[in-house]
Structure 1
Amino acid sequence: MICMNLWRRMLPQALRLTGKSALPLLRWADVMQVKTLEQMPGPSAARFLWDLFFRRGLARLHQMQLEGRRKYGPVWKASFGPILTVHVAEPELIQQVLRQEGQHPMRSDLSSWKDYRRLRGEGYGLLTAEGEEWQSVRSLLAKHMLRPKAVEAYDRTLNSVVSDLMEKLKLRQQQNSSGLVTDVSAEFYRFGLEGISSVLFESRIGCLDPVVPVETERFIQSINRMFVMTLLTMAMPQWLHRILPKPWDTFCLCWDYMFQFAKGHINQRLEEERQKMARGERLEGSYLTYYLSQAGLPLKSVYSNVTELLLAGVDTISSTLSWSLYELSRHPEVQMALRDEVLAVMCGRAVPDAADVAAMPLMKAVMKEILRLYPVIPANARVIPDRDITVGGYLIPKNTLITLCHYATSRDPKHFRDPDAFVPQRWLSRSEAHPYASVPFGVGKRSCIGRRIAELEVYLALSRILMQFDVKPAEENDTVHPMTRTLLVPERAINLRFIER
């Protein structure tokens, strides 16, 4: 009390000083107002787990962001099993976090992913590595995955995959008199996996064949099951794995097969390279496994990075393409305008390339709007390992998990007028939204390294689908909502009618 009274007497004098001499006192005032983690609002651990597992379920984690924002404000804390996390749901505060993340930023610990790698002796990839190990691989891959000119080199490879998709869609829609294609997400999931595989291996794995190879289908199922088990295994303390072993055992079996699948394709490509060398042929390639292997990375690191890149890109492509056609089918005026844009750019040509996309502003606006409404990763995360930081007036201790609530900010009416509506035109004019209100690929060094390849694959596929088909809903007022499965996915099958033009 004495200190506070003294401060009140000193404050008027401080304010009469010059700006320079008063600055230290004003900074000291800011420090005095910083609150501790204990003072941060949020549900009790029991209440949060009740909401999570019984009232709302893991599938509704994205909606719990909106509820937390309404109840507690832009910053709140909650315990997810053994993990205490601070939720941040305001663009300015997300920006504060990211500006303090340091030279080697950390995402969420992904503790169960790392536990598996330690258990099996596998290496860490771009999603799980930290520090210098992460930085060296990130720098290497960025040359081939983020530079626009480097990404343009993949358009011929990706267009070959798009051609197979078009044949598959044509076959599917011809099997039904109304042109109905059920569960388009499953079809686009296989398309996404085939596309990322062609970029990684410069070879095909049969996802779009009339009969998908058994090993490829099993790989797809393993990815899906692993993402479901990720949330569950992270929420369970390790001692609980011994009492309830099934989730952890299932999680490990999924990863076992995913590594086995990737290693098989990597070894095949490396053997082909060895045979070329034995014949005295020149080694060259434009696929990512080649760049990784030629950079002198340990084979264990090549295995882990390729495995993580395989699973990272598939959902982005599948989800974005599915939701794009879902919304375009429900907004025929936007679909018509986008088709007109594509046809005008193509000038009678049948197959677009990367350079054509640059002349399609509405196409890019549709993509931005879809990722605002349905961000593939509804919440990103950061861990600041080396120092405490201040966010929103709270002192957050180092090593605290900070969840960045992108779903909540991208659907906030304060930042987006009519936030639940599909309005891609909002991106064609100068946006009034805060630049961190919708950041579906993340920002900075830890942003999604595959975003440009994923975007290009979606742009090329969407262009050709609209040139060949009118896309309509399976039924009027057939509404599909998103759900959380670590990633944000449709809660049930999206069915659409493809009418040949």
Structure 2
Amino acid sequence: MPQSLRLPARAALLSRCLPELGVPRQPPVPPAATRGPRSLAEMPGPSPAAFLYDLLCRGGLRRLHELQVEGRARYGPVWKASFGPILTVHVAEAGLIEQVLRQEGDFPVRSHLSSWKDYRVCRGHACGLLTAEGEEWQRLRRLLGRLLLRPRAVEGYGGPVADVVGDLLRRLQRQRDRHPQHLVPDLAAEFYKFGLEGISSVLFASRLGCLEQEVPRDTETFIRSINTMFVMTLLTMAMPKPLHRLFPKPWQTFCEAWDYMFAFAKGHIDRRVAEAAEHGEPAEQMCLTDHLAREKVPMKTIYGNVTELLLAGVDTISSTLSWSLYELARHPGVQAALHRELAAAFGTGCSPSATALGKVPLLRAVVKETLRWGRGRRPRPCLRPQLHPCLCPHPCPSPLSSSPPPSPSSPPSLAPSSSPSPSSSLSLSPSSPHPH
């Protein structure tokens, strides 16, 4: 029998702050008592033809979240789907997703991004944290975890990130001032630009101008390249390699998008390395490129990892921020409690430092709990519930709108679904609107 799953401490903290949200988590779905585990062949799911029809004829590539909601309702918490040679298993139960993640070994296996790896072999690029496997992945994960995730390392990036946050708030205020109804027309796009600006300041200490009134052309091209690459990923993975010669356009477009992303990152990395060679290493506010160069990491490995982290950072920052704000907008009691905590810890009109995160346990609980139950979820457009005017200590005179951004993705071989069942204190209830 699977080990029972305990309610995380962060969920308990949220429940104490707002008792009406203390919804108990559903226990994991037990296996059938009358028979052993069923095989993959017995797993329910749409036929390959039906799934292909949904993707290509019903606009499924633009509404993956809706397809997953439909799959959860039709087949239950676990189902399979095939697209060409790609077989995906969707898990749509928070407890089951947690079991899958906890049972991973030392070398967790993520989506088999064959086209990503084929591109790196074709161009001679090194694999980064997203594409490396086995011991190579573990070595990179330990190195980057030490340089990016330890509390002391995080504190070193606090200053540049705080500057980016200030620029985001000023840009949102400008957008609202120009709007006749005092709204931000496309909050999802703003969070996406914020993610790119924030992660670039951490990776190679560059400001890309994403939050300026006029975004530089090369930055706009980089953003378009990310979107193009994601769209082409699913198509190139589904096409057998012999078909690339008969229908070369998808593969060429895919490679061109990656070429620009690698060239974009390489230019900023080379600039930072040249500055360090000419003026010496900065005494403070070192970026990841500085740390990797100090560790004598080969430049080829630096290019591969920084490019992939740039891509991953944009997606994860914007997605996490969007869903956290969305949940706070849906739970005004938690939002009010969080505002009280922030005001007590920092006051108003102040820029909090990274060292002060220990004073705001509810803020950390909100983000962690949102990530826990919605870890595999892909953000889609949704309604605009109102947010508190001063959630953060920066000046922000009136309510903002929450709208999780659309983000294309390819289904991994084991995919936590976009529609986990309500099993945590911040879950979507059947009567509440779904973000699709």
TM-score where L is the length of structure 1: 0.66
Report 1:95-114 matches (<5 A).
95-114=98-117
- Give distance in 2, aligned partners of 1:187 and 1:311: 16
Change (3 A) 1:189 1:75: closer
SS of residue in 2 equivalent to 1:180: coil
TM superposition shift of 1:235:
2.4
C-alpha deviations, 1:36-82, integer Å up to 9, x for none?
A: 33333333221222223223512333333343344334433321211
Paired letter, 2:138 = Q
TM superposition shift of 1:471:
1.4
Deviates further, 243-252 or 333-342: 333-342
TM superposition shift of 1:110:
0.7
1:354 and 2:277 equivalent?
no
1:463 and 2:386 equivalent?
no
Change (3 A) 1:285 1:51: same
1:237 to 240, 262, 270: 240
Paired letter, 2:392 = S
Could you tell me which residue of structure 1 aligns to residue 377 of structure 2? 378
Change (3 A) 1:267 1:283: farther
C-alpha deviations, 1:288-334, integer Å up to 9, x for none?
A: 11122222222111101000011111122223334555565676665
Could you tell me which residue of structure 2 aligns to residue 304 of structure 1? 304
TM superposition shift of 1:483:
5.2
TM superposition shift of 1:339:
3.0
Report 1:196-211 matches (<5 A).
196-211=199-214
TM superposition shift of 1:117:
0.9
- Give distance in 2, aligned partners of 1:486 and 1:245: 21
1:252 and 2:255 equivalent?
yes
Q: Is the 8 A contact 1:40 1:76 kept in 2?
A: yes
1:159 to 162, 178, 183: 162
Could you tell me which residue of structure 1 aligns to residue 230 of structure 2? 227
C-alpha deviations, 1:94-147, integer Å up to 9, x for none?
A: 445434433222211111111111121111100001122212111111112222
Change (3 A) 1:51 1:171: closer
Deviates further, 252-261 or 84-93: 84-93
TM superposition shift of 1:352:
1.3
TM superposition shift of 1:480:
6.3
Q: Could you list the runs of 5+ residues in structure 2 that have no partner in the other structure?
A: 1-32, 411-416, 419-436
- Give distance in 2, aligned partners of 1:40 and 1:65: 16
Report 1:388-399 matches (<5 A).
none
2:54 to 51, 56, 59: 51
Could you tell me which residue of structure 2 aligns to residue 132 of structure 1? 135
Change (3 A) 1:90 1:340: closer
Change (3 A) 1:141 1:462: farther
- Give distance in 2, aligned partners of 1:168 and 1:130: 40
Change (3 A) 1:96 1:331: closer
Change (3 A) 1:310 1:472: closer
- Give distance in 1, aligned partners of 2:318 and 2:403: 15
TM superposition shift of 1:468:
1.9
Q: Is the 8 A contact 2:129 2:137 kept in 1?
A: yes
Change (3 A) 1:79 1:353: same
- Give distance in 1, aligned partners of 2:140 and 2:358: 29
Paired letter, 1:485 = P
Could you tell me which residue of structure 1 aligns to residue 409 of structure 2? 486
- Give distance in 2, aligned partners of 1:152 and 1:68: 42
Could you tell me which residue of structure 2 aligns to residue 85 of structure 1? 88
- Give distance in 2, aligned partners of 1:164 and 1:79: 44
Change (3 A) 1:345 1:50: same
TM-score where L is the length of structure 2: 0.75
TM superposition shift of 1:351:
1.1
1:147 and 2:76 equivalent?
no
- Give distance in 2, aligned partners of 1:146 and 1:482: 25
- Give distance in 1, aligned partners of 2:405 and 2:289: 34
Q: Which has the larger radius of gyration?
A: 1
TM superposition shift of 1:368:
4.7
- Give distance in 2, aligned partners of 1:284 and 1:35: 57
1:64 to 46, 49, 67: 67
C-alpha deviations, 1:266-294, integer Å up to 9, x for none?
A: 111111222236xxx88876211112222
Change (3 A) 1:57 1:282: closer
- Give distance in 2, aligned partners of 1:62 and 1:68: 10
Deviates further, 206-215 or 131-140: 206-215
Q: Is the 8 A contact 1:58 1:484 kept in 2?
A: no
- Give distance in 2, aligned partners of 1:40 and 1:327: 32
Q: Could you list the runs of 5+ residues in structure 1 that have no partner in the other structure?
A: 1-29, 380-406, 408-419, 425-460, 474-478, 490-501
Report 1:395-406 matches (<5 A).
none
Q: Is the 8 A contact 1:222 1:257 kept in 2?
A: yes
Paired letter, 2:276 = E
Paired letter, 2:299 = L
C-alpha deviations, 1:176-226, integer Å up to 9, x for none?
A: 454332212222222221111111112322222332221112111111221
Change (3 A) 1:141 1:481: closer
Change (3 A) 1:217 1:140: same
Paired letter, 1:301 = T
TM superposition shift of 1:254:
0.9
C-alpha deviations, 1:397-441, integer Å up to 9, x for none?
A: xxxxxxxxxx9xxxxxxxxxxxx9x9x9xxxxxxxxxxxxxxxxx
Paired letter, 1:292 = L
How high is the sequence identity, in percent, across the aligned residues?
Answer: 56
Please provide the CA RMSD for this pair.
Answer: 3.6
- Give distance in 2, aligned partners of 1:196 and 1:171: 23
Could you tell me which residue of structure 1 aligns to residue 295 of structure 2? 295
Change (3 A) 1:81 1:378: farther
2:188 to 185, 190, 195: 185
TM superposition shift of 1:169:
2.5
- Give distance in 2, aligned partners of 1:178 and 1:74: 41
Q: Is the 8 A contact 2:195 2:317 kept in 1?
A: yes
